[in-house]
Amino acid sequence: MRFCCCVKWCSVIALLVFGIICLCFGILSLIFVPKLITKAIKENVFVGRLPNGSDNFAMEQYRDPKYDVKMQIWVFSVQNPNEIVNKGEKANVTELGPFTYDIRIHKNNVKFGSNDSRLFYRNVKSFFFNPHLSCSKCNLSSSVVVPNIIFQKLVDFFGNNSFLIPLIEPFFMDKEKVFVSVTVDELLFQGYEDKFVNDICSNPLTKGFCGPNVPDRIGLFYGQNGTDDGLYEVDTGKENADRIGQVYSWEGMERKLDDAHWYGERARLIRGTDGQLFPPGILEERKLQIFSGWLCRSFDLAFDRSLIFAGLTVRRFALPISLLSSESQRPAGFCNPNSAEYFYNGSVQEGNTLIN
C-alpha cells in the first residue's frame, strides 16, 4: 500500500515537472521563436544577386512584378459649356466610368552599386485598356467636353507676368477655347492638338513662348505609356532590411527635388520607398512613406483596415483624405502661395496645388 502511494506521488511530481518544462518551453518559444523568424527574414529578404550572378527571388519579383496593378479613371463631361462661358451658369456634368487599365511594370537599366547595397533602375509602365472591367458605356472613342487644360495653365502663367498680357490678350478673347471636345482616348493617352496652343506658337509675336516645354499634343497621360518616370536609386536591404526600397535619389537629385519643383522645402523632400518594396513587420500605427517620380512628390499611406487574403491576415493602407485638402497641402509647400483658395475640407485645389 505504501509502495503504491509512493508511485502515485512520484507520477504526480513527474507530470508536474514535465508540465512546468513544457510551460517554460512554450513561453520561451513565444518570446524567442518570432524574433528568430524575424531575424531570419531580415537576413534573407533583400533584392540582389546569387553567387552565379543571376537575380535572387526577390530581385526577380522586383524586376518584373507578377501582381495585378490596375488604374481606374472616371471622366466628367460638361453638358453646358456655352452657358458657362456666356451666362456664368454652374456646370452641368455627366459622369462616365470607370475606364479600367491594366498596368504592366518592368525595370530597365538595372545596375547595382555600393557593394550591392544600392540599386539603380528605370521603372517602365505600360497601360492596357481593359473593357471587361470598365463600365458598359465606356468606349475610348466616346466624345467628352472638358475644360481646356492648357488654357487654364496659360491664364495662370500670364496672370503672374502682367507685362506679357498685351501680347497674349487677343488669344484669350475666343471663348470657344475655354472648353474642348475630344475623345476619351485623346484626353488620356493619345493626346489632341490644341488650337489655342497652335495659334500662340504660330504667331510671330508669341511663338517665342513655345519650345520643348510645350508638347505637340495635349493629354493627361500623353507620352507616358511605355515610358519610365525617371532614374531611381534605392536601398536593396542587403545591409539593413529595415531600409529595403528606401529611395535615396531620383533623376540625380538626392534627398530632395530641386527648386523647379513645387513651392516649399517640405514638398520637395524625397521620403520613403518607391511603393513596390516595404520592410517586413509593418505595424498598423505606422505610416507608409512613398515617393513617386510619376507625381514628382512624396506622400503617406495610412492604415485603413485588416483583411483576409489567401487565408492570411493582411493590412490595407490607403491615401488619407488630407492628401486632397489644400488646408494640409498648402502649408507643406504644394500650393502656389500667391493663388486664391477656392475649395476646402478635402476638395481638390485644382490648378494651384500642382507641380510648379
C-alpha span between 52 and 40 (Å, rounded): 22
Q: Which letter does DSSP use for residue 340 in this model?
A: P
- Number of Cβ atoms within 10 Å of the Cβ of 322: 13
Q: Cell numbers 515537472 correspond to what residue?
A: 17
| Alpha-carbon torsion (264, 265, 268, 274), positive or negative | negative
- AA identity, residue 71: M
Which of 74, 76, 61 lies closest to 101, judged by CA? 74
Burial 13-26 (b: 16+ CB within 10 A, else e): eeeeeeeeeeeeee
The closest alpha carbon to 184, from 135, 256, 237, belongs to: 135
Return the amino acid letter for 83.
E
Task: Report the C-alpha gap between 180 and 81 in whole angstroms.
Answer: 9
Q: What is the DSSP string of 236-284?
A: -SSS-GGGTTBEEEETTEESB--TTSSSSHHHHB--SB-SS---S---T
CA distance 201 to 213: 12
Residue of 337, 338, 350 lying closest to 159 (CA atoms): 338
Alpha helices in 269-322 (DSSP H): none
The gap between the terminal CA atoms of the chain, to the nearest Å, is 96
Return the number of other C-beta atoms located less than 10 Å from residue 102's C-beta.
Answer: 14
Q: What is the C-alpha separation between 220 and 186, in angstroms, rounded? A: 9
Per-residue model confidence (pLDDT) at position 211: 66
What are the grid coordinates assigned to 82, written together? Answer: 456655352
Sign of the alpha-carbon torsion through 122, 128, 129, 132: negative
Quote the distance between the C-alpha of residue 137 and its chain's center: 28
d(CA 233, CA 299): 18
Backbone angles phi, psi at 116, to 5 degrees: 65, 15
pLDDT at site 32: 52
Q: Which three cell numbers stand for residue 202?
A: 504660330
Q: How is residue 128 written as a grid cell? A: 492596357
Which residues are CB-neighbours of 42 under 8 A, at least 6 positions away? 241, 242, 280
Q: 71 in helix, strand or coil?
A: strand
Residue 348 has what pLDDT?
46
- Regions of the chain where pLDDT drops below 70: 1-15, 17-19, 22-26, 28-44, 154-176, 205-209, 211-213, 339-356
